[in-house]
Amino acid sequence: MRLSATSKVSPTTTRDCSGSCHLDDDTVVLDRINTWTGTSEHPVQISDVETWLTQASATYHSVTVILDPWQAIGLAQRLKRRRIRVEEYTFSAPSVGRLATTVHLLLREHRLALPQDAQLLDELANVRLRETSPGVYRMDHDPDKHDDQAIALALAANHLITRPEKRQWRAY
């Protein structure tokens, strides 16, 4: 059995991102990532994101969907009714710091396998680890850039590498 995690980030209705990862030995492998972009007049359709997550769950068995309960409680309830495992990840200063340091360490230790996706690689090249107060970190980016894909990747990766049974699982 492989541990898979799919993450869903929904900071606004104008941009949403989901990524799917699995753990291969000590390397987090990003299998696929998708970003939806909307406008205030034509927001991202959560049903489109839900369809993507459902298809990913069917493709990569033993999946756990990681999401922010504040942003996606309705989606979580619908996925659970479909018998898709959902874990909530509450965003706070310490939890955001864990996400930021997870991605930083995985990149530094060459334990992150990424697809050749120009948009993703550009985003990762433009996010940085920032210490907001002693011992408290966050992922930061320039005002004209995004970090949605980096956060989606971090959610799934953090789930995979912090699980006690991490050796044989997959996360989304």
Domains of the chain, by residue range, sit at: 4-171
Strand partners, 64: 5, 85
Cβ neighbors of 129 (< 8 A, separation 6 or more) are: 100, 101, 104, 137, 138, 139, 140
The predicted pLDDT at position 4 comes to: 59
Q: Can you give the pLDDT of all 172 residues of the chain as single tens digits?
A: 345 566 665 545 677 888 888 888 889 999 989 988 888 888 888 889 899 999 988 888 778 898 888 878 888 999 999 999 999 898 898 999 999 999 999 999 999 999 999 999 999 999 998 888 898 888 888 888 888 899 989 999 999 998 766 544 455 5
The predicted pLDDT at position 3 comes to: 52
Question: Which of the following CATH numbers is that of domain 4-171: 3.40.640.10, 3.30.420.240, 3.30.365.10, 1.25.40.10?
Answer: 3.30.420.240
The predicted pLDDT at position 115 comes to: 94
d(CA 20, CA 156): 7
Give the N- to C-terminal CA distance of the chain in Å, as an integer.
15
Cβ neighbors of 4 (< 8 A, separation 6 or more) are: 20, 21, 22, 60, 61, 62, 63, 64, 169, 170, 171, 172
